[in-house]
């Protein structure tokens, strides 16, 4: 395992040797918590599923110790819940036939602090070993501070790579804020209608979260169905499940581009769109 954190765990579902398993990765998801990959980057999982030349690799940055818990998990300690969440993430990787899943085991505080470089440096080493074509991150308008921190650390890591060796596409995906609000021309569509059984099965793996009182398994599928139907008011549906993404690729082409200003640009263009639509009928 290429790792700076002794708590990190690497799992390769098909038992390939470590370095080749990383090197064959074409699509890489980098999420904050166990289950984020499955909820936000299912497009990559589905694209690579049972393909010989496409492989999805996953990175989960935090240790999952602070999750809510109820039902049979209500009296579990942080250590117990963290260990169980690691097992759940590995089970999801096996079901999704990932190339690998790396769980880095950092506390959320290490992710949110821009003055700590350990997470950035570890992500750089993984990106350097995998050289993916496509990377899935949290979107920069997400309302979860740890998600935003993870996305920023990942972008910092990508910017450490030589430009010729950076991914072709980087997407910011939906979790704790959907992206239906983006101006239509700026939504990156990610159709995920194929293999609904895999989508249901892989979401249901995360029992600690579901029993903790959060029906993410149902909510994620509902959001995808809603996106497919409400994406276009004038056409019949071509997909039954859709995820939207924010294109973050310009941020890895231009290292001087400020992530804050880049993200606020999407909001400003929404403001202009809403104002223009209102004025049409005044």
Question: Domains of the chain (ranges plus CATH)?
Answer: 9-257 (3.40.50.10320)
- At residue 162, the 3 state secondary structure works out as coil
Structure confidence at residue 140 as a pLDDT band (50, 70, 90)? very high
- At residue 169, the 3 state secondary structure works out as strand
Structure confidence at residue 211 as a pLDDT band (50, 70, 90)? confident
How many percent of the chain have pLDDT more than 70? 99
- Which tens digit of pLDDT belongs to each residue from 56-88? 999 999 998 877 777 788 888 888 999 999 999
Using CB atoms within 10 Å of the CB of residue 270, give its burial: 0 to 12 exposed, 13 to 18 middle, 19+ buried: middle
What mean pLDDT is predicted for residues 221-234?
Answer: 93
Q: What pTM was computed for the model?
A: 0.95
What mean pLDDT is predicted for residues 16-33?
Answer: 91
- Record the tokens describing residue 189, joined without a space: 């569509």
For residue 34, pLDDT beyond 60: yes
What mean pLDDT is predicted for residues 182-187?
Answer: 96
Instruction: Write the CB contacts of 122 (distance below 8 Å, at least 6 apart in sequence).
Output: 2, 3, 4, 5, 8, 104
Pair 174, 190: CB distance under 8 Å: no
Structure confidence at residue 4 as a pLDDT band (50, 70, 90)? low
Pair 125, 154: CB distance under 8 Å: no
- Record the tokens describing residue 67, joined without a space: 């999750």
Lookup result for tokens 């200003």: 261
- The pLDDT assigned to 157 comes to 98
Structure confidence at residue 120 as a pLDDT band (50, 70, 90)? very high
135 strand-pairing partners: 28, 170
For residue 198, pLDDT beyond 60: yes
- The pLDDT assigned to 97 comes to 97
How many percent of the chain have pLDDT more than 90? 80
Helices (H) and strands (E) in the chain, counts: 12, 8
Structure confidence at residue 2 as a pLDDT band (50, 70, 90)? low
Instruction: Write the CB contacts of 232 (distance below 8 Å, at least 6 apart in sequence).
Output: 184
Structure confidence at residue 28 as a pLDDT band (50, 70, 90)? very high
- Which tens digit of pLDDT belongs to each residue from 107-116? 999 999 888 8
Q: Average pLDDT, whole number, for the chain? A: 94
Structure confidence at residue 3 as a pLDDT band (50, 70, 90)? low
193-228 as b/e: b if 16+ CB within 10 A? bebeebbeebbebbbbbbebebebbeebbebbbebb
What mean pLDDT is predicted for residues 10-27?
Answer: 89
């Amino acid at each position: 395992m290429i790792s700076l954190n002794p708590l990190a765990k690497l799992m390769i579902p098909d038992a390939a040797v470590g370095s080749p398993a990383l090197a064959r990765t074409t699509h890489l998801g980098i999420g904050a918590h166990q289950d984020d990959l499955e909820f936000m980057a299912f497009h990559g999982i589905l694209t690579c599923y049972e393909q010989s030349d496409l492989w999805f690799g996953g990175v989960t940055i935090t240790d999952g110790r602070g999750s809510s818990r109820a039902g049979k998990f209500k009296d579990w300690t942080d250590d117990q819940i963290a260990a169980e969440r690691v097992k759940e993430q590995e089970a999801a990787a096996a079901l999704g036939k990932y190339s690998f899943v790396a769980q880095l085991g950092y506390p959320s505080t290490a992710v949110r602090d821009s003055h700590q470089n350990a997470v950035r440096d570890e992500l750089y080493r993984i990106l350097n070993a995998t050289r993916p074509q496509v990377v899935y991150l949290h979107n920069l308008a997400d309302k979860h501070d740890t998600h935003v921190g993870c996305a920023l650390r990942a972008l910092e890591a990508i910017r450490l790579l030589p430009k010729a060796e950076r991914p072709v596409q980087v997407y910011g995906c939906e979790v704790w804020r959907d992206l239906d609000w983006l101006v239509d021309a700026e939504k990156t569509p990610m159709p995920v209608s194929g293999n609904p059984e895999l989508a249901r099965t892989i979401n249901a793996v995360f029992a600690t979260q579901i029993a903790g009182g959060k029906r993410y398994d149902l909510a994620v599928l509902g959001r995808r169905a809603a996106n497919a139907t409400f994406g276009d008011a004038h056409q019949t549906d071509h997909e039954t499940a859709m995820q939207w993404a924010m294109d973050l690729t310009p941020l890895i082409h231009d290292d001087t581009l400020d992530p804050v200003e880049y993200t606020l640009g999407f909001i400003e263009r929404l403001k202009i769109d809403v104002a223009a639509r209102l004025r049409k009928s005044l």
